[in-house]
A and B are shown apart, each in its own frame.
Chain A
Amino acid sequence: DIVMTQTPLSSPVTLGQAASISCRSSQSLVNSDGNTYLSWLQQRPGQPPRLLIYKISNRFSGVPDRFSGSGAGTDFTLKISRVEAEDVGVYYCTQAKQFPITFGQGTRLEIK
C-alpha cells in the first residue's frame, strides 16, 4: 500500500497570512498513463470533504485561486496564499495511482 504522510498535523495561521501543507508518498505517484493522481480535500467542521485540487495542481470547480498545489513524484504541497476564516478545517492529501486508495492523516488548519 502507498503510505501518505502529511506535515504538519496542525497549523495555526494568522488571518491573511499564507499556509503550506506538505504530503509525501511512500512511492512515486506517477501513473503509467503519465498522470499523477494526487489530490487535496478540505473538510470543514461538521461537513463532508470537498475536492480542492486534483492531479497535483488543478483547481476544482469553484475553488478560490488562493489555493494552489504543486509537487512531483513523491513530494507535494498545498498552499493557501491568504488564509480566510472559512478555510478552517482539516486538509487531506490522497492518492489514486493504485488500489487501495489512501489518504494522509490530515492537517488541521486553525486560526491563531
Chain B
Amino acid sequence: EVQLLESGGGLVQPGGSLRLSCAASGFTFNSYAMSWVRQAPGKGLEWVSYITSSGGNTYYADSVKGRFTISRDNSKNTVYLHMNSLRDEDTAVYYCASYTRAFDYWGQGTLVTVSS
C-alpha cells in the first residue's frame, strides 16, 4: 500500500523558516518524481514545487521561487520542502504527491500557519 506521510508543519512567525518532510512507502520511491501542492484555508489547490526522480531537476511556482527549496533523499525515501522568509500568504495545508502519469498518490497534508 502506497503511503505518503507529511510532517514538520506548525505555527511560525512571518519571516521564519520551516522544513517539511514527506516519508514515502509502498512504492519504488527513486523511480517517482515528487511534488508539493498547497491549499490555503477554504481555497483551491496551488502547485508549489516539483523534483525529478533523481533529484537532478527542480521546479518552483513563482510565488515561492527563491524562498523555498525542494530536495529528496532516496536512501531515506523522503522528500523535503525547506521554506524560508515565510509570509502570511504561505499559510496552507501542504500536501506531498508522487508524480508519474499525474499526481498519483497524495499524503494527508501538514498545516503551516504563518502568523505573528
Contacts and interface: CB of A to CB of B under 8 A. Distances in A.
Nearest to B97: A49
Nearest to B109: A48
Interface in A79-109: 90, 92, 94, 96, 99-106
Interface residues of B, number: 22
A106 B46 CA distance: 11
Contacts of A103: 44-47
Contacts, number: 59
Interface stretch (A16-24, A51-59, A70-78): A51-59
Interface of B: 35, 37, 44-47, 50, 59, 61-62, 95, 97, 99, 101-109
B44 A100 contact: no
Interface residues of A, number: 24
Nearest to B63: A100
B44 A92 contact: yes
B103 to A, nearest CB: 6
Given A48-B95, A48-B109, A49-B95, A101 B47 contact: yes
